[in-house]
């Protein structure tokens, strides 16, 4: 027959094991969530950096473009038949 003390000890042991299992599962969930948040935040910052670089390149390209025709008179081919 199991005494009252041993029964109490067994109850505490089962509760402790159960708590450890559940706390471990919760920690795993939190760890996964932190990992996923870090990944998404990193991807978002990468997008922001790429958009910023693209905007800077577009601004640079735009500042190098002269309004007007594509071919300037100097660059146009000369038609030797008309001369």
Determine, yes or no, domain membership for 45.
yes
Determine, yes or no, domain membership for 14.
no
Residue 62: pLDDT band by 50, 70, 90 thresholds? confident
Domain range for residue 51? 29-55
Determine, yes or no, domain membership for 1.
no
More confident residue, 31 or 66: 31
Determine, yes or no, domain membership for 12.
no
53 pLDDT higher than 90: yes
Mean pLDDT (the chain, rounded)? 86
Determine, yes or no, domain membership for 34.
yes
Query: DSSP assignment of 3-25, as one string?
Result: -HHHHHHHHHHHHHHHHHHHHHH
DSSP-based helix, strand, coil % in the chain, nearest 5: 70, 0, 30
User: With a threshold of 0.85, does the pTM exceed it?
Assistant: no
Determine, yes or no, domain membership for 48.
yes
CB burial string 12-47: b at 16+ within 10 A, e below: eeeeeeeeeeeeeeeeeeeeeeeeeeeeeeeeeeee
Residue 71: pLDDT band by 50, 70, 90 thresholds? low
Determine, yes or no, domain membership for 60.
no
Determine, yes or no, domain membership for 69.
no
Overall number of domains in the chain: 1
């Amino acid at each position: 027959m199991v005494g009252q003390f041993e029964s109490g000890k067994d109850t505490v042991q089962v509760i402790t094991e159960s708590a450890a299992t559940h706390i471990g599962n919760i920690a795993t969930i939190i760890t996964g969530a932190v990992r996923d948040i870090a990944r998404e935040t990193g991807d978002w910052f990468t997008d922001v950096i790429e958009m910023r670089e693209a905007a800077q390149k577009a601004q640079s390209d735009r500042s190098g473009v002269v309004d007007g025709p594509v071919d300037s008179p100097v660059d146009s081919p000369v038609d030797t038949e008309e001369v």
